[in-house]
Structure 1
Amino acid sequence: MSAPSSSLSHSVGAITDVAGIEVGHFTETRRPTGCTVIMARDGAVAGVDVRGAAPGTRETDLLAPGNFVQQVHAVVLAGGSAWGLAAAEGAMRWMEERKIGMDVRFGTLPIVPAAVLFDLPMGDARIRPDAAAGYAACEAAGTAAPAEGNVGAGTGALVGKLFGVQRAMKGGIGTASVKVGGITVGALIAVNSLGDVIDHNTGQPVAGARTEDGKALLDTRRALLRGLSPKPLLAGTNTTIGVIATDAVLTKVQANRLANVAHDGLARAINPVHTMSDGDTLFALATGRVPLEGDAPGMTVLSTMAAEAVAIATLRAVHAARTVTVGDLHIPCAADLGSARG
């Protein structure tokens, strides 16, 4: 990899700028929920890092560096809480039909880890992503820049719920990519955080808990520090999940490290983050198209790129989100609320 002084593109980009990565959304029409597949048909070395205390995941143990499986073929992100993990079954079926996966002599076995977020307050909770939804997301997958906001896994996402869901704002899904020299790092993040989303360039909240009249941002961090008491929380009712992808050649150890440091991007863009009520989980995929020059300096630059892509994608998720009303619950988006703060 070239030195950090090489040209850095500030265009927003998308995770599909990474060669070998495809993305497809399924968006449920009966209530705000859905799922998203991030596919690597030719396989990708993968890692994962779970920081939140209330994760909902599938097939994460196999990504540990010491375990046998070396590559995965897709990652599924879904709403629906733990029920939404069923979407990964549909993704497996779609890929098996097309012989995408690992040859295990008796068949082709797609390796599909997954993570879910809690969007059950948004409408009829009995409607959630299932195997058919995961299959449909694969059918929709391609290399074009994926849609952002109220689509796929971000459809029912909310942010800023620490003082009650009635004072929350609309979350969503966002993507970005960063290029340095000949290497690309992209991120796709579904933002359903307990905390506020922060513009990491200014330090100011752009979406999150609102004041009691609902007309301005409360600024959760400052509210907590001045002693304002949060509402009682149902554990695990939040969570930001996502995927970082790169075309660099990485080992499983390096992929796991990349997932680890990518959480720095969440820490810049969400406050508070990694709470007892969030299941924050990030996967890293390496499609192995470009050699990484110099292990230590190469990983340092790659890690910086990953954190930046995650922070940008997180911010884009709320900027792309749109206001929704479900029953008596009216959830404004950042664009409608503006930048007013209490």
Structure 2
Amino acid sequence: MTKSFLSLALALAITAGPAAAQTPAPTPPDSQAPLKPLVNTGGKALTFDWPMLKIGTAEYAEGPTGVTVFSFDKKVMAAVDVRGGAPGTVNTDLARLGYPTSDFDAVVFAGGSAYGLESTTAVASALKDDGKNTGNWDSIAVALGAIIFDYGDRRLNEIYPDKKLATAAYHAVQPGVFRNGAAGAGRMTMTGYFFGCKAHSGQGGAFRQIGDLKIAVFTVVNAYGVVVDRDGKLAACYNDPSWPADLKVNDLMKNLPESRKAGWGTPSGPMRNTTISLVVVNQKMDPADLQRLAMQVHTSMARGIQPFSTMSDGDALYAVSTGEIEADKGISDSVEIGAIASDLMWDAILNSVPPQDPLPVITPQPPVPEKALAGYTGDYRFSNFVTVSVTEKDGKLYGQATGAKKAFNVPLDQAVELEPMGAGTFAVPGRYPTVLDFNQSGTLVMNPGLWKQTGLKQKAKK
């Protein structure tokens, strides 16, 4: 909206009187008001028995982006360990003070970069609005929170987890259910930019009970490094075509910096990445032990993500003790608890990896009718910052991005041929999947499926 238009609208509201001022304003072009939260969906459910620990997820499929809320039946003790060079957190200073008191009600993870921090304060407000907490000094709702960066070239819009989405996730919490994979805050995460892998990731969890002791770990993996399995293999990566089939992470790491150069692959420049994590134990722990638990488990994550905690990551880990059992009912050695939780965290990292979109298979296709090609042409708007212009020439279809950034393998500086794959679908060859689907009237769906991006066809200018 331009300044002149805004001034005119304000002047009309003032001169027209109260009736005009009450007229609803038009919905802005990229408003999130029409978006509907989807709760507790996606991924694969991990179930466990822990009534006090309740978890809820919510997402906007249009992003996609989401929120994951961990809520406790009573206030809990927490510690924090921040390792990455670009953290985005809420209330970490309070967790660092090391008070031997239970001050926290919830932990909130969200996408949307710094805009997603609204989710944490929204959950705290919801706790008060629902009557669980009050305005009394000893009953103020306190939520810990952290965000991941799920913008950049991951998606073509700037939808973020707002108060509405976070409140929906909080109201959907249920005991003992966590969704592994592309769900909640892990809905649009990616890993491996350091080596150009650009693989889809998500959120992962793991649980173990030993006698009365319960340990649960959760992580949202959006790391600059690659996810590594216990055999040293890359758990998810769009490999450079020049890489050997049996490549392991050790081959990449020991050949730095050559392994990031041409011939080894051409990774993008510095990205914004983050892995945010949570460890929960039901055993009472003093602040020093809880802090060391956070540090020990966080350190262990460098086995499953390589490299880890770089300047381009905002890695943070919270450790929570619900204090439901005494040490003599669990394991008195806090280092041993840390070792068990560390092993679980590697499982959680691996559980975060969803099935990857396959590279498109392009085979010879019959010529596309001219009428169909003409119907596909036009400008498709994905957001205020990305539009894909589709044109036809000599019986072939071409695409070019306009605006602030390219659209996956569709570049900004030149038109690229869209190669037909089947009825209404085209592809742009490359290291990463780029499929364009015109089968929905008036829309262009890029990479249809779990992480699809939808552009709306714009009316031609007269």
Whether TM exceeds 0.5 here: the answer is: yes
Look up the equivalent residue of 2:72 and give its one-letter code: A
Q: Secondary structure at the match of 1:113?
A: strand
Residue in 2 that maps onto 1:204: 233
Give the distance between the partners of 1:73 and 1:314, measured in 2 at CA.
25
Residue in 2 that maps onto 1:233: 269
Q: Using the TM superposition, name which of 204-213 and 109-118 deviates more.
A: 204-213
Are positions 1:247 and 2:278 aligned together? no
Q: Using the TM superposition, name which of 120-129 and 169-178 deviates more.
A: 120-129
Higher relative contact order (CA 8 A, sep 6+): 1
Superposition map of 1:98-137 within 5 A = 98-101=130-133, 105=136, 108-120=139-151, 121-137=153-169
Residue in 2 that maps onto 1:328: 408
Per the TM alignment, residue 293 of structure 1 is displaced from its structure 2 partner at its CA by: 3.0
Are positions 1:193 and 2:223 aligned together? yes
Q: Secondary structure at the match of 1:41?
A: strand
Look up the equivalent residue of 2:276 and give its one-letter code: I
Per the TM alignment, residue 150 of structure 1 is displaced from its structure 2 partner at its CA by: 0.9
Give the distance between the partners of 2:303 and 2:95, measured in 1 at CA.
26
Which of 69, 81, 96 is the aligned partner of 1:37? Answer: 69
User: Deviations 1:238-274 (Å, cap 9, x if unpaired)?
Assistant: 1111111111112222222211111144122111111
Are positions 1:304 and 2:339 aligned together? yes
TM-score, normalising length from structure 2? 0.62
Are positions 1:291 and 2:326 aligned together? yes
Residue in 1 that maps onto 2:105: 73
User: Deviations 1:198-238 (Å, cap 9, x if unpaired)?
Assistant: 113x2322113522479968645522422223645335x11
**Alpha carbons 1:17, 1:184 under 8 Å: kept:** no
Give the distance between the partners of 1:33 and 1:215, measured in 2 at CA.
34
User: Deviations 1:62-116 (Å, cap 9, x if unpaired)?
Assistant: 0124458642100111111111111112211211122334x65269421111111
Per the TM alignment, residue 151 of structure 1 is displaced from its structure 2 partner at its CA by: 0.7
**Alpha carbons 1:65, 1:253 under 8 Å: kept:** no
Give the distance between the partners of 1:302 and 1:234, measured in 2 at CA.
36
Look up the equivalent residue of 1:84 and give its one-letter code: G
**Superposition CA RMSD, Å:** 3.0
Give the distance between the partners of 1:217 and 1:272, measured in 2 at CA.
20
Which of 80, 83, 88 is the aligned partner of 2:115? Answer: 83
- The structure-2 alpha-carbon separation of the partners of 1:289 and 1:19, relative to structure 1 and needing over 3 Å to count, comes to farther
Look up the equivalent residue of 1:241 and give its one-letter code: I
- The structure-2 alpha-carbon separation of the partners of 1:229 and 1:124, relative to structure 1 and needing over 3 Å to count, comes to closer
Q: Using the TM superposition, name which of 303-312 and 288-297 deviates more.
A: 288-297
Which of 175, 192, 196 is the aligned partner of 2:205? Answer: 175
Q: Secondary structure at the match of 1:75?
A: strand
Q: Secondary structure at the match of 1:76?
A: strand
Give the distance between the partners of 2:287 and 2:70, measured in 1 at CA.
18
**Matched positions, count:** 315
Give the distance between the partners of 1:15 and 1:247, measured in 2 at CA.
17
Superposition map of 1:19-58 within 5 A = 19-58=51-90
Q: Using the TM superposition, name which of 116-125 and 272-281 deviates more.
A: 116-125
Give the distance between the partners of 1:240 and 1:54, measured in 2 at CA.
11
Per the TM alignment, residue 193 of structure 1 is displaced from its structure 2 partner at its CA by: 0.9
Residue in 2 that maps onto 1:153: 185
Matched residues, percent identical?
A: 27
Look up the equivalent residue of 1:304 and give its one-letter code: A
Q: Unmatched 5+ residue regions in structure 1?
A: 1-11, 333-342
